[in-house]
Structure 1
Amino acid sequence: MEMIMSKYYKPIFIFLILAFSLHAQSGYFGKNKVQYHEFKWHFLQSEHFDVYFYPGAYKIAVFVADEAESSYVSLRNDFKYEIKARVKIILYKSHNDFQQTNVIETYLPEGVGGVTELYKNRVVIPFEGSYDQLRHVLHHELVHAVMNDMLYGGSIQSLISGQVVPVPTWFAEGLAEYFSMRWDTRADMILRDATMTGYLPPIEYLSYYMAYQGGQSVFRYIARKYGNEKISEILHKLKGSLKFEGAFRSALGMKLKELSDEWQKAMRKEYWPDIADRQETGEWARALTHHKKTKNYLNISPALSPNGDKLIFLSDYEGKQSIYLMDVLEDKVIKRLIKGETSVNFEELHWLSPGMSWSPDGNKVTFTAKAGDQDALYIYDIKKEKFKQYKFNLDGIFSTAWSPAGHEIAFVGNKDGASDIYLFNVDSAKITNITNDIFSDSYPRWSADGQKIAFVSDRGPYIKEEDLPKNFKMSEHDFRNTDIYVMNRDGSGMRRVTSWPSRETDPVFSEDGNILLYTSDRSGISNIYRHDLRTDSVQVISNLLTGAFQLSVDKHRKTLAFASFQEGGWDIFTIKNPFDLPPTKVEDTQYIKRLKKNEPDVLLPRPGEIKAEKDTTRTEVRIPQATDYSHYVFADLNRRTKRKKIKVELKEDEYKLQDGHYKVRNYRVKFSPDIVDGAASYNTLWGFQGYTAIAFSDVLGNHKIFIGTNLVFDLRNSYLTLQYFYLPKRTDYGITLFHYANTYWTGYGLIRYRNYGAWLMASYPFSKFTRVDFSLNWWNAMMEYLQVPIPTQTVNSILPGLQLVHDTSEWVWPDTGPRDGFRGSVGITLSPKFSSRSPEFITVKTDLRKYFKLSDNYSIGLRYSGAVSQGKNPQRFFLGGVDNWLNRQFRGNIRLYSVYDIYFSEFITPLRGARYYERTGNTFSLINAELRFPLIEYLQMGLPPIKLAKIKGILFTDIGSAWDFDKPERFRGVKDGRFKDIVMGYGIGTRVYLGFLGIMFKYDLAWTYDLKNSSTPWHYLSIGVDF
């Protein structure tokens, strides 16, 4: 769950409105957002919200509308604020579909469960099989939306204009977590572990997952000490404030550091008493993995082999989430079975909803993964190292369990708002839905004889479909608690095993089928319970500090494997003879004790307890057929500033039919402004340039328009860019009309440089990782001498280009460039004889980059780039320097007297230890190597009062050359033991992100090396990211 806001908007507009140049056609890296399906969108309205959905998601949309109104009632009371504009909610019925959204431009990985963006204050959420998760995500994102409306007026415009201060991540995410759930056992586990093991940071350093649960804990502390009204006061103080900490201090009467000290002290009082009463996981069971030693985060989803001597598990210890095979007896990893996140077959391995198992003979394993357009079930042969893939046209597939007989695999399948248990017949490859109802079912596990299946569900007392009340509504059902159920293998004879007001999950059968082990957080910590199905007697057998999850047993039930969270990460543990372990006693946590006393600061109303003022009963209606979108509508540009005219609340007859059904409308493309602001860019030749940037889009982000202008006297001296992108289908299309003008004082007086034309593009993604880009550029360039009678140079050209791009790299904030994986491209650009003033050339270019992650903070980046241009007028490559070099230097003079050098050449960087134009030619080759590492974690200055964090350092070496391909005899590589036409540089550098400007500032200190001597140092000040 993320809020897309201030740290992104500056770079986005700098890059979107950059002036196009010839080498811009060389493309860009980045993973692809593949639109596998073209959705037919509809929307329904409630009193305050517009919910957009497509066929198959209507029931979920009704649930979302009901929950949104209930959430808003709570938030309106908590925030003491009423929204000034309706909030749009875009709903997807699976995470796979959610990843295809164009509302957010960046790729949304499995860990992102929802987003709220600031351009139009839109909420974008998927349904992933659990109504409880959907409720949580929806409430979380609506906190962002209401806060955005309150603090920023519902758009990013006030942030850009500097009218309000952006809030830190811990504040935004912690607030959303607190008001969406108050508190739960998972947050309690994380804070307990952080407090006990000493990694609970001060408030201002809360980051990553601690920004969520840590920030949530801060607001819980404030609410417990001062009441929820104090949080509302903080928000109202922030509204219109230019200093975050000042607003905080005004509301609380203390500095943020003082609050941090009090909060950390309270956490120690809360959790330290638990040390004496509970065991660390490693004291009770044997650890098979050690995340602190391997410097990773995830070791989860253990699955024991039938004999218990092997185990497969999911881990990220080599950077990518992958499946590993371990020898349990030797306590060592044998090999990696599946490398995730690098191919279309294993894009994501469902680490948030895991579950793997073995075939009865121990030769194969089964698991699920995202595989392109949908999830797939896999059977992997360990000895042959081959797999079979099965797709069933389901919205999601999770948690597999191979039957003891070997011919069936149980799994969880999501389809159109229902999460059910399915059986897959290994022989016929057919599937059968054996639960088939509205409830969320998960984690199926077989009995040893293969006749029973235990599973987890939120169905409560509703065993059969006919048990449901006539007007049953999921939004009024208590779906927060999950219980254990047992049924026959065909779905009949279902029995509810547990009925506590807590979460029970992860069931496993004893060998005789009479006893279940499962986990329950009834005491506040997820411990392991033993349940006799004959007598319903229950005993707890563990008493852990943080808990046990994802249970797995061998065929004879002699070994139990499970995952546990400790010291800020997840590890795998085993324990022998789990069904024979003695019972123990478990004390309730402080959180559960307060919950039982009904203390209000830790409670949220149960589903259905909060309702909107008016009846919100919904029933299903048939969705009308989609209509042709005959025209597009532009909204008034000034509409957003005239917020008092926006109608927020609808009357019941405006969104409901007379029979009580929702009015379902077809979606129509309607443009409205995203942003109007000034933007700046830096060009190697022309330096800093300013624009007025205007962006429009429709609600779904499928149609985008960008306008960039800098009007100077008349069109001949002005910048003007108009772009339109069409994005709803798999192939993305774009068109750009442009006119750029620059003037420069030279020895011949003032020269005006103009280039104008049109640019067409089409991009087809084969997968998340690979695509082909096509471009066609109509290019016109002029160089006019305004003060001397020298003829104008004019060039006209049509430039088709084709490029293949592959990217599996991993780039995690605050890295200055990718830390792991591969990036590569190869492309060709043609300039045929279009007219007498057209250049003729063909250019082939490649760019290959490989990254090696040494640890979370250390990495190595290697790059090779090269090109050759041939023809009557080949392109020239200018080798040397760095991109966006602020204190730039040229070898010789800047080349401003040839229209070909200006518009049909390309600067090749980085080559540090060299100037621009250090080597030139129609062919080049360049190699770069960098070691990237943390330099300064945090720097606070007294005067000026500047705070800088995550300052990075690099060690680098660059070596390259440029020459004329058709004149190889002129190339001199090494002469007299020294480099001649080859240039080599080495040095050190630092990078710091200037958040208030939205740029990365870089300083490099380099020396030229000719195999014998090093030069005096070169200083490079620049902006941008590393390769």
Structure 2
Amino acid sequence: MRFLRTGSLLLLALFLAAPAWAQFGKNKVHYKDFAWKTIETDHFEIYYYEGEEESAFHAARMAERAYSRLSRILHHEIPDRVPVIVYASHTDFQQTNISPGLIPEGVGGVTEFLKRRVFLPFTGSYGEFDHVLTHELVHAFQVDLLYGTGSDANPFSFQPPLWFMEGMAEYLSLAEVDPNTEMWLRWSALEGQLVPLHYMDRVFDIRVYRIGQAIMAFLGEKYGDERIGELLKKTVYFRSLDVAFEKTFGTNLKSLNEGWEDYVRRKYYPQIVNLNRPEEHGRRLIKEQGFDATQLAPAISPDGDRVVFIRDGRFSKDIVLASAIDGTILKTLLEGERSSDFESLRYIYTSIGWSPDGTRIAFPSKKGGEDVLNILDVNTGDVLETLSFQFDALYSPSFHPAGDRIVFSAIRGGKSDLWMVELADRNLIRMTDDPYMVRDPQWSPDGRRIAFVTDRGADTDLKNLVFGKPKVGILEVETGDITVLPYQEGKNITPQWGPEGNEIAFVSDRDGISNLYVQDLHDGSLHRLTNLITGVTGIIESSPPFSWSRDGRRIVFTTFMGSGWELYQIDNPLDKLEQFEMPEAVQQIALRELESMVPWDQPSAAQEDVILASFREERDAAAPPAPEAEESGEEAGETVDLSALLDPGGPSLTLAGPAPTTFLRPESEIEEEAETRPRISLAALRAETTYDLPDRDSLESGPYRMKWAPDFVGASPFFASNVGFAGSAQIALSDMLSNHVIQIGASVYGSIADSDLFLGYYN
């Protein structure tokens, strides 16, 4: 029997009722009791629970490799071990107490300010996990530089714009501008929607990642990747992004913008000439209506006449049935996110499966603390069955041609594998058991093979935790043998069988843009079906974006159109194939154009010295006298007096973070270090540190031990003639997982008899 457990509360109220703030930090609903453990490395404390041991040790080694890269490119060492909390799935991740609010489906990781904690889930792809982990560790470095080495640990004292923080994290974690980001740039250049650099601080949507990443790559290409770390340090020192740009590059954002826009246009205009809009390949079925009405995960019926998709609406994610001929909406089959049975439809990674007779669809959903498999009657809209297997995550169900079995990918302990369920008796069969990624399985028309997405191949090195691009693999059901299709350059996802099983269609970005390809399984010949400006894409680069009807008559796909994803169809796709010979990649076209560009004017070293000297004089003249530094009497291991965190200086609220470890370094010292620092290529550094991994045998697991630290400290004293001294003070402390919270508060009004005291404990 499984019990639903909510956080218990031990409350002691003295004198009067507790104030409203006492509810701060109350735990979320938990569906599982996690038995936590830790792994300690040179720079990290990894927190994990039973069932994800193998994945947690991989995370520990990946974190150390990422630290090796980031500490060199950012020229900084974090003085204390960084806490990293890993969860076996997004479902478990959403139960964390570290974040008080609901974590949306699209959040892949979080870096928290107060205790500098990084927490994130496994997704079944170690390659994706490595990317997200490194992205979040960039934030850990940023936070330590911004708030951990100065005299002010308040995040509201200065906050760089989101594009700066997220763009830097994305670029430093990938060491390139990936095809998904280039899609955004290509569209922005074509439509004239490129936001000027000096206005990017007003952008708060997904462009802070995509455009921010491209800006950082532009700066790295123009000035050198090592200058990104210098830019961050000067941003910390001057508490101004504009000034930091002037000090680092000799120009401000507004002046740099002309070169940036010219760079984007010269790089992407030549590509657009040879690319098509989606109307040139097919018919639009559903038009996007902004981010509040986006069509995702399309699945076409076996006869090609109907299509189901997940509509990302303003308030919910719904499964909608429409005509695959003209796009007419037929009905909403299911309203998601409105009941505990369908808390999430897993719209980012999943596809939907049709039964061979076209009467049922299969789809996953989050229900409580697990993902379940649902089978729905398309005619009535009734859910016929809900199958529970206690999986951490479940994606992309596909019916066998006989309709009696379903294959799907599922995650346990952070690893993804292929599973099959026999519907008659719900017998569950595991079909793979290895560390490789498994996604998007599809039965062949004869039921003997399963095509799926995997990262196995020559570019994957399990020993050194190097994972290649996704490829299309084929599993022989009878023998269990797995082969990878030849010519799998770049990303290759969402395999779909041709009507006779002689071809496989898939999405590939082998020439820099995600498009539809069809490969003949007999002679290996490759044909391209689309050549789109923004490609055939889903909401993220690995989302399933298309579906091919079993009779081969029609394909439906989604494509990005500026503010959302639209749904298109292609009739008789096998009649529209073009023989594909690898053309000049779009990156090579762009490189040729960039090499022909006239270099931008940059200030000479002498001019830069004049600028720096002038700024120093103005800054020093306006700066107040610096207070004399006092030596701290705190010794290592000495108990910290928490009352010292209360601000006695007046009626203000103080957010307590880690105590500063050092004072800001002088600007001259930063500049001298930058001048003598060798030039670093981020791509070369990434390759050089590939094997910077601690030995697995050097890492040991230990029990979880609670370490208490403040989450919130505030005080507001005042004096009034009618009551005398009065005020209030509050403090909240918790352990590293925020599973145990102590809250203490006092409101004093002249005397103890007229005061309120509060003590609360949550777990």
Shift of 1:234: 1.4
Matched residue SS, 1:431:
strand
CA distance in 2, matches of 1:213, 1:29: 34
Shift of 1:118: 0.5
Shift of 1:151: 1.4
Matched residue SS, 2:64:
helix
Shift of 1:709: 4.1
Pair 1:522 & 2:529 matched: no
2:303 to 280, 303, 307: 307
**Residue type of the partner of 1:703?**
H
Shift of 1:258: 2.6
The equivalent of 1:617 in structure 2 is 695
**Residue type of the partner of 1:199?**
Q
CA distance in 2, matches of 1:309, 1:498: 33
Pair 1:344 & 2:340 matched: yes
Pair 1:558 & 2:595 matched: no
CA, structure 1 residues 26+672, in 2 after alignment: closer, same or farther (shift >3 Å)? Answer: closer
**Residue type of the partner of 2:424?**
D
Preserved CA contact (<8 Å) 2:351 2:440: yes
Q: Which has the higher helix share?
A: 2
Pair 1:398 & 2:476 matched: no
The aligned runs of 1:614-1013 (5 Å cut-off) are 616-618=694-696, 660-678=697-715, 691-709=728-746, 714-716=751-753, 718=755, 720-726=757-763
The equivalent of 2:369 in structure 1 is 373
1:386 to 382, 386, 394: 382
Shift of 1:155: 10
Matched residue SS, 1:545:
coil
CA distance in 1, matches of 2:15, 2:371: 39
Preserved CA contact (<8 Å) 1:543 1:584: no
Matched residue SS, 1:239:
helix
**Residue type of the partner of 1:694?**
I
Preserved CA contact (<8 Å) 2:547 2:557: yes
Preserved CA contact (<8 Å) 1:483 1:499: no
Preserved CA contact (<8 Å) 2:267 2:591: no
CA, structure 1 residues 709+104, in 2 after alignment: closer, same or farther (shift >3 Å)? Answer: same
Shift of 1:713: 5.4
Preserved CA contact (<8 Å) 1:706 1:724: yes
The equivalent of 2:451 in structure 1 is 454
Shift of 1:32: 8.5
CA distance in 2, matches of 1:20, 1:227: 63
2:563 to 565, 568, 573: 568
CA distance in 2, matches of 1:49, 1:481: 28
Preserved CA contact (<8 Å) 1:114 1:126: yes
The equivalent of 2:627 in structure 1 is none
Deviates more, 1:29-38 or 1:142-151: 29-38
CA, structure 1 residues 342+26, in 2 after alignment: closer, same or farther (shift >3 Å)? Answer: farther
CA distance in 1, matches of 2:450, 2:252: 56
TM-score (norm 2): 0.79
CA, structure 1 residues 283+447, in 2 after alignment: closer, same or farther (shift >3 Å)? Answer: same
CA, structure 1 residues 439+680, in 2 after alignment: closer, same or farther (shift >3 Å)? Answer: farther
Shift of 1:247: 2.8
Shift of 1:262: 3.1
Preserved CA contact (<8 Å) 2:162 2:201: no
- 1:627-682 Cα distance to aligned partner (Å, 9 max, x none): xxxxxxxxxxxxxxxxxxxxxxxxxxxxxxxxx3522110012212234344699x
CA distance in 2, matches of 1:461, 1:178: 25
Shift of 1:30: 13
Pair 1:435 & 2:466 matched: no
Shift of 1:719: 5.3
Pair 1:89 & 2:84 matched: yes
- Structure 1, unmatched stretches of 5+, are 1-17, 463-471, 619-659, 727-1027
**Residue type of the partner of 2:445?**
A
CA distance in 2, matches of 1:419, 1:607: 30
CA distance in 2, matches of 1:255, 1:20: 58
CA, structure 1 residues 118+703, in 2 after alignment: closer, same or farther (shift >3 Å)? Answer: same
Pair 1:539 & 2:533 matched: no
Shift of 1:593: 6.4
CA, structure 1 residues 254+26, in 2 after alignment: closer, same or farther (shift >3 Å)? Answer: closer
CA, structure 1 residues 680+369, in 2 after alignment: closer, same or farther (shift >3 Å)? Answer: farther
CA distance in 2, matches of 1:216, 1:277: 25
CA distance in 1, matches of 2:276, 2:563: 17
**Residue type of the partner of 1:78?**
I
Preserved CA contact (<8 Å) 2:410 2:417: yes
- Structure 2, unmatched stretches of 5+, are 1-12, 538-544, 596-677
The equivalent of 2:174 in structure 1 is 181
Q: Which has the higher strand share?
A: 1
Matched residue SS, 1:695:
strand
Shift of 1:216: 0.9
CA, structure 1 residues 607+91, in 2 after alignment: closer, same or farther (shift >3 Å)? Answer: farther
The equivalent of 1:148 in structure 2 is 143
Matched residue SS, 2:390:
coil
RMSD: 3.3
Shift of 1:306: 1.2
The equivalent of 2:422 in structure 1 is 425
Shift of 1:589: 1.5
CA, structure 1 residues 594+87, in 2 after alignment: closer, same or farther (shift >3 Å)? Answer: farther
**Residue type of the partner of 2:360?**
K
Matched residue SS, 2:76:
coil
CA distance in 2, matches of 1:604, 1:26: 46
Shift of 1:385: 2.1
**Residue type of the partner of 1:97?**
D
Shift of 1:265: 3.0
Preserved CA contact (<8 Å) 2:287 2:566: yes
CA, structure 1 residues 275+499, in 2 after alignment: closer, same or farther (shift >3 Å)? Answer: closer
- 1:979-1011 Cα distance to aligned partner (Å, 9 max, x none): xxxxxxxxxxxxxxxxxxxxxxxxxxxxxxxxx
Per chain length, whose mean CA-contact separation is higher, i.e. which structure has more relative contact order (CA < 8 Å, sep 6+)? 2
CA distance in 2, matches of 1:722, 1:23: 8
Shift of 1:475: 6.1
Shift of 1:416: 1.6
CA distance in 1, matches of 2:337, 2:392: 20
Matched residue SS, 2:39:
strand
Overall identity of the aligned pairs, in %: 33
- 1:379-423 Cα distance to aligned partner (Å, 9 max, x none): 001223211111101111001111111111111111123211111
Preserved CA contact (<8 Å) 1:148 1:154: no
CA distance in 1, matches of 2:392, 2:400: 23
CA, structure 1 residues 700+533, in 2 after alignment: closer, same or farther (shift >3 Å)? Answer: same
The equivalent of 2:272 in structure 1 is 275
Paired residues, what number? 649
CA distance in 2, matches of 1:28, 1:712: 23
- 1:225-246 Cα distance to aligned partner (Å, 9 max, x none): 1112221121111224343433
The equivalent of 1:80 in structure 2 is 75
Task: Choose 1 or 2 for highest CA Rg.
Answer: 1
CA distance in 2, matches of 1:607, 1:520: 27
CA distance in 2, matches of 1:601, 1:534: 50
The equivalent of 2:641 in structure 1 is none
**Residue type of the partner of 2:278?**
T
CA distance in 2, matches of 1:591, 1:86: 42
CA distance in 1, matches of 2:149, 2:702: 24
Deviates more, 1:354-363 or 1:327-336: 327-336
Deviates more, 1:305-314 or 1:487-496: 487-496
- 1:588-624 Cα distance to aligned partner (Å, 9 max, x none): 22378659x99x9998669995549976121xxxxxx
The equivalent of 1:862 in structure 2 is none
The aligned runs of 1:154-169 (5 Å cut-off) are 158-159=153-154, 162=157, 165-169=158-162
CA, structure 1 residues 612+406, in 2 after alignment: closer, same or farther (shift >3 Å)? Answer: closer
**Residue type of the partner of 1:662?**
L
CA, structure 1 residues 615+441, in 2 after alignment: closer, same or farther (shift >3 Å)? Answer: closer
Preserved CA contact (<8 Å) 1:303 1:357: yes
Pair 1:117 & 2:85 matched: no
Shift of 1:375: 0.3
Shift of 1:490: 4.2
Preserved CA contact (<8 Å) 2:147 2:155: no
CA distance in 2, matches of 1:613, 1:488: 34
Preserved CA contact (<8 Å) 1:540 1:583: yes
